[in-house]
Amino acid sequence: MENTKQCPYCAEEVKAEALICRYCFADFQSMAKEKKGDFVRLRLKAGEKSYAGDVFVPDYLSRVSDVLNDKKPFLVLVNAIEETRAIDVNVGFIAINKNQIESIRLANDQQTVGRPEIEARMSCFDHDIPKWRIDRQ
């Protein structure tokens, strides 16, 4: 089909005149704006798994929360690692449904350095509480 193009986000075929991808809701008009920006390292927990990866934050968005609250249903992580208790598994690229994300934080949050009360609170994310300790009455 000569009148189609491939979406750069989800790789689905869409009509060439489309302004928004019907699969991932990517806005083709703002593609030029999105070329400039920074990658931010995040750690997130989705279901039973924890991931660390880089998310792209375009210049026209000022915060990571703007990326999380946009209309796209998936959060795309690059250079992603699935964190397990024994070893970390290199995933590379992963798209996670935003509805499945339970918790999220910056991996290298410089605002918490040197503040012991916040560092202690943030370290709770690093160690999952065993289920047997929660179920005890």
Domain borders along the chain are 1-31, 35-128
Model pLDDT, residue 71: 87
CB 6 within 8 A of CB 13: yes
In CATH terms, 35-128 corresponds, of 2.40.37.10, 1.10.10.410, 3.40.50.300, 2.30.30.100, to 2.30.30.100
The strand pairing partners of 52, in sequence order, are 43, 81
Extract the tokens encoding 123. Answer: 């370290």
Model pLDDT, residue 29: 76
Nearest Cα neighbor of 72 from 118, 16, 28 is 28
Local structure of 1: helix, strand or coil: coil
pLDDT tens for each residue of the chain, 137 residues long? 578 988 877 878 899 888 888 888 888 777 655 567 888 899 999 888 899 999 988 877 878 888 888 888 999 998 888 988 778 888 888 999 999 999 888 887 554 455 565 555 555 554 554 544 444 44
Model pLDDT, residue 96: 92
Q: How far apart are CA 35 and CA 51, in angstroms?
A: 25
